Amino acid sequence: METTFIIIGVLMAAFIGLRYFAMAKMKNTPLVSDHEKVLTLTDQNFQQQTKNKIVLVDFWATWCAPCRMMAPVLNDVASELSGNSHVGKVDIQQYESLAQKFKVRSIPTLILFKNGTEVNRFVGIKSKEFLLKEIAKAG
């Protein structure tokens, strides 16, 4: 019985240590500039920019470490898209009303729009391959 408690204690300590290391690493993730093809979406232009297109919209904030980790992935996705498919970003600190309208509860939240209508939603960090596949399915 005592051995079981020791093993559980060691596993918990390892988990806590790994979590601390991961959080410290995410906190130091630099802010990456958006690719030239990434649409900056606002209250004023959201409807127009998502109309008659397929747009993957990233709801993010500057203080969000996972959001900063997604930025290079989204830049890569944007650089590979052509035609009527685009990547857009909404800063939820500046455009809180858009986050509320689309019921964004955690970030990063990526919502895939087709002709201005939500067709899919992804929460958390996703790979470039996954996102390109989902965009292609929507097309």
The sheet carrying 85-91 orders its strands as: 39-40, 85-91, 54-60, 109-114, 117-123
Sequence-ordered strand ranges (E) for 21-129: 39-40, 54-60, 85-91, 109-114, 117-123
Check if 94 is active-site: no
Greatest CA separation found in the chain? 65
Check if 67 is active-site: yes
- Identified catalytic residue from 54, 56, 57, 64: 64
- Identified catalytic residue from 67, 73, 77, 111: 67
Active site residues: 64, 67
